[in-house]
Amino acid sequence: MYYVMKKLIIPFVMLFVATAMQAATTTLVVNKTRKQTITGFGAACCDGAMCPYGTDTQPVKLLYGPTSQIGLNIMRMEISPSFKGDENSAWSNYNWQGCVPSAKIVKQRGGIVFGTPWSPPGDYKTNGTAQGGNADSQGNQKGKLREDCYEKFFPWLNSYLKYMKSKGVKVDAVSIQNEPDWWVSYSGCLYDPQDLVKLVKNYAYMLDRETYPGVKLISGESLGFTQNYTDPLMQDKTCREQIDIVAGHLYGHAPLDYMKKSAVLAERYGKEVWMTEHSSTDNIGNRLPNWHEQLLFAEELNECMMAGCTGYIYWYMRAHWAFVGTGESKYGTDNKKNKLLPRAFVMSHFSKHVTGSTRLTTSREMSSGSEAAMEFSAYIKGDSLIVMAIDTTKTAYDLKLKLPVEVKSGTHLLSTGNETENLCQEKPITIDEPTNNLVVEMPARSLNTYIFMIAKDENGIEEVKQTNQQPDNGNWSQGNYFDLRGQRYDGTRPLRPGIYVKNGKKIVVK
């Protein structure tokens, strides 16, 4: 009886073991079609997060530059209602001087700095104050830019550019308004979509691009990246000629909804698309984000790229739900002041490797297992092909890759948890001979960056065809060069001898 049972059990056990050892698989196809080129990633230098306002430069020292651990390269600043940034003004607590120390460091490290008004000066507004007006103490009077002051608005921005230049900071871009569709009690200003069209169409020519060459104009940054604020500016030819960057925030709407729709006209007319503020999981209470929440942040970054984003700028640099610890013990012992938090390393998967790359379209095939909460994207950058993979499930997968070019070597950058030892682990991917079909591991609940070296001759990069290519109209992503570390060089500066990337293509300067 035992022998018979044994004969029956052994095949079953062997079958079970074989089945258990066979990992679930999914196939990702990376196509040759090129989409947007990525300018970069960043965060805001704002009151509260970096007190005394902007003068605490430790966060930018930790986060910015191609040789930093995180690799951010875009910094957002508030243009306060102060006229000259003088320390005796009513807005001295967060005047124009506040961001100068941090901005200098970002610029020295090859980064981009831009300014956003929360409100123009109160003298220009219908309620006579920089406050938005949404409070009993403010009379619940909606603060808007008075039409008789439209002609003062861009000269006011010019005065900001002049002040920052006098302090040694060349500002790369200025926005029209932070959240023009959100009535607030703090510093704010309301604009209807047609108000912005009128302002830009009739007065944006006054932005002094001759004195400040290369400065770009950013659209009003609506709360949810809504089309009713972006499309009218793109549909009007005069406005289109003035606006360089279409921008918005993600509050209330996922990237692949409103943002993707707003990017359609922007892409058609060769404009950049920037997500300029969002604080993912800032309402989590007295704790740091858990690993699942970190993966959701990674998915937000990935979805922004899939929506056509060329620049992603997070909210605060320093907060328990952001990139650098605040030191407040109520958020846990890991929230040490000026310690890099796990979210910073999640961001680094994109900021260190995707900056300066051009996105390639992808498609996925499920070969076994059930549909899972996985996301992917792919990029080409010089001689590198980069694949991003996010798995929020408890199942490990073998990821089969079908690439548009042959690759000869690779590196797997892996993050699997909030603990330091589980962040940005790096190991080689062994490839015996050049191939465009290979299998890599994708652990459960993981963020993965696979970086492959393309096997080809010097000019082989041209084999990857580009569609929907927009004209080079001076955009950073299209008209500028990046070195192989991701540092940007604007087109007006001579390049040192070396290898650079422009529009995802390798350029050799001798």
Instruction: Walk me through the domains of the chain, giving residue ranges and CATH numbers.
Output: 24-38+356-510 (2.60.40.1180), 40-308 (3.20.20.80)
CA 199, 204, 206, 207 dihedral sign is: positive
Q: What count of Cα atoms within 13 Å lies in the side-chain half-sphere of residue 480?
A: 24
**Does the pLDDT of residue 493 top 90, yes or no?**
no
Q: Which one, of 299, 254, 305, lies nearest residue 391 by Cα?
A: 299
C-alpha span between 169 and 112 (Å, rounded)? 10
Indicate the burial class of 16 (C-beta count within 10 angstroms; 0-12, 13-18, 19 or more): exposed
Q: Which one, of 450, 334, 439, lies nearest residue 390 by Cα?
A: 450
Residue pLDDT, tens place only, 334-354: 999 999 999 999 999 999 999
pLDDT value for 56: 85
Q: What are phi and psi of 355, to 5 degrees?
A: -55, 130
Residues for the chain: how many in total? Answer: 510
CA 426, 432, 435, 440 dihedral sign is: negative
Question: Per mean pLDDT, which range of 69-78, 431-440, 490-499 is the poorest?
Answer: 490-499
What is the residue-averaged pLDDT of the chain? 87
User: What average pLDDT does this structure show over 47-64?
Assistant: 78
pLDDT value for 95: 79
**Does the pLDDT of residue 375 top 90, yes or no?**
yes
In 282-353, where do the E strands start and end?
Answer: 311-316
pLDDT value for 318: 92
Q: Which one, of 235, 227, 168, lies nearest residue 200 by Cα?
A: 235
What's the whole-model pTM score? 0.87
pLDDT value for 24: 86
**Does the pLDDT of residue 459 top 70, yes or no?**
no
- Non-local (6+) Cβ contacts of 455 within 8 A are 405, 406, 407, 408, 434
Residue pLDDT, tens place only, 9-52: 444 444 334 444 456 889 999 999 999 999 999 999 986 666 65
pLDDT band at 410 (very low <50, low <70, confident <90, very high): very high
C-alpha span between 458 and 228 (Å, rounded)? 46
Q: What count of Cα atoms within 13 Å lies in the side-chain half-sphere of residue 450?
A: 29
Buried b (16+ CB within 10 A) or exposed e, 164-187: beeeebebbbbbbbbbbbbebeeb
- Non-local (6+) Cβ contacts of 336 within 8 A are 325, 327
pLDDT value for 453: 98
pLDDT value for 456: 79
C-alpha span between 25 and 368 (Å, rounded)? 6
pLDDT value for 479: 58
Residues 461 and 383: beta-carbon distance below 8 Å: yes
C-alpha span between 57 and 39 (Å, rounded)? 23
**Does the pLDDT of residue 280 top 90, yes or no?**
no
Q: Who wins on pLDDT, 48 or 159?
A: 159
Cα 336 to its chain centre, rounded Å, is: 25
Strand pairing of 397-415 and 425-429? antiparallel
pLDDT value for 494: 54
Place of tokens 């999914």: 26
pLDDT value for 508: 63
Cα 360 to its chain centre, rounded Å, is: 17
Query: Which 8-state DSSP code applies to residue 145?
Result: B
Q: Which one, of 404, 376, 408, lies nearest residue 392 by Cα?
A: 376
pLDDT value for 471: 40
- Reduced to 3 states, what is the DSSP secondary structure of residue 405? strand
Place of tokens 């605490």: 56
Write out the two tokens for 344: 């910073």
**Does the pLDDT of residue 505 top 70, yes or no?**
no
**Does the pLDDT of residue 211 top 80, yes or no?**
yes
- Reduced to 3 states, what is the DSSP secondary structure of residue 216? strand
C-alpha span between 312 and 276 (Å, rounded)? 6
Q: Which one, of 371, 257, 362, lies nearest residue 304 by Cα?
A: 257
Cross-strand partners of 402: 29, 437
Q: Which one, of 153, 302, 286, lies nearest residue 294 by Cα?
A: 302
Q: Using alpha carbons only, give the angle 57, 275, 280 rounded to the nearest 5 degrees.
A: 70
**If you write DSSP's letter for every residue of 239-251 in order, what string do you get?**
HHHH--EEEEE-T
Write out the two tokens for 265: 């006209």
